Amino acid sequence: MSVPRLDVLVTGAGGAAGVAVIRALRSVGHRVIAVDPDERAFGLAIADDAAVVPFADDADFAAALAGVAKRTESAVVVCTVAEEMLPLGSPSGAALVRESGAALWIPDPASVRTCIDKLQFAAALVANRVDGPVTTVADDALPPGPWIVKPRFGRGSRDVYAVDSESELMWAVRRVEQPIVQQRIDGREFTVDALVDREGGLCAAVPRWRLQTKAGISTQGRTFRDPAVVEATRAALAAVRLQGVANVQGFVRADGSVAVVEVNPRFSGGLPLALAAGADLVGEYVRGALGFAIRPEKLRFRPGVSMRRAWIEEFEG
């Protein structure tokens, strides 16, 4: 069954993921209502309707978003910011969205918290025997170097430092708020755009090499196939009990083993590459939000599709 033309509300219109989702939805004829806390957000300008809402940590965020959904008669809310999923997933926030008439499909707040808290996420990987970097807080016994220092709660590549010596390590720790220290993994970096059904089944996994990144966003990538990467993705998503859309980041070592370093419970900024490769992650996510079965045949992808990203995405392959 095909989904008819819908009014879809997309959050995070100032981010790369939000912009990619807005473009994908409009390209197939849906009417898009974009929201963001910043009135200058690019996605607000390219949507059919737009509104400014508070930040996720504002007590009025869920009510404001539900008000926009009701005003615009939105059928679905697509949340592209992990932090916004916490107030929307609370009993009161979920009730407000339901009362607006919009469907909302986000993970359980406990799963979102595990993904946002990098120390808790590392513990979940260990508990479920998923390969990942040894992770500690700066005051604990440190793993052998070299290291990565990053905020326990952070986004993208902000305040992330690769260090090789103990003096560099101490310098980085002093510069980062709530720092964690990870043993640095050598290997080839990848991201997987994934979709998990409501029963926890992995419906889609589109791996791509991160050939070049800027501010934590992949600016050059190429899709590829690797059963070991897909299995590591499946294990990591199961470890955090995630459902819905996600992106998984990690490394393939020289010996072919796979280490997972991060899971984000949202669409990725590199989503256009997965779409260009043939996997309709946005369309099937919307179907899932509305309660329809996800169609595996719509999520197949072509390996070897490349992306170069500047202000617009260019695809070849």
Residue 4: both structure tokens together: 């008819």
Structural domains of the chain sorted by starting position, each given as residue range(s) with its CATH number in brackets: 7-104 (3.40.50.20), 134-183 (no CATH), 188-316 (3.30.470.20)
Query: Which residue, among 165, 164, 181, has the nearest Cα to 173 in the 3D structure?
Result: 181
Q: What's the confidence (pLDDT) of residue 2?
A: 62
Amino acid at 162: A
Which positions ≥6 away from 41 have C-beta within 8 Å? 13, 14, 18, 34
- Over its C-alpha atoms, the chain yields an Rg (Å, rounded) of 19
Which positions ≥6 away from 99 have C-beta within 8 Å? 66, 70
Q: What's the confidence (pLDDT) of residue 258?
A: 98
Q: What's the confidence (pLDDT) of residue 1?
A: 56
* Residue 131, CA distances (Å) to 96, 171, 226, 232, 236 in order: 39, 28, 16, 8, 9
φ, ψ of residue 203 in degrees (nearest 5): -90, -30
Q: How far apart are CA 185 and CA 187, in angstroms?
A: 6
Q: What's the confidence (pLDDT) of residue 158?
A: 83
Q: What's the confidence (pLDDT) of residue 214?
A: 63
255-260-263 Cα angle (round to 5): 160
With a cut of 50, list the residues of the chain below it in pLDDT: 311-317
* Tally of residues, the chain: 317
Strand partners, 72: none
Q: What's the confidence (pLDDT) of residue 136?
A: 95
Q: What's the confidence (pLDDT) of residue 309?
A: 61
Q: How far apart are CA 171 and CA 173, in angstroms?
A: 6
Three-class secondary structure of residue 278 per DSSP = coil
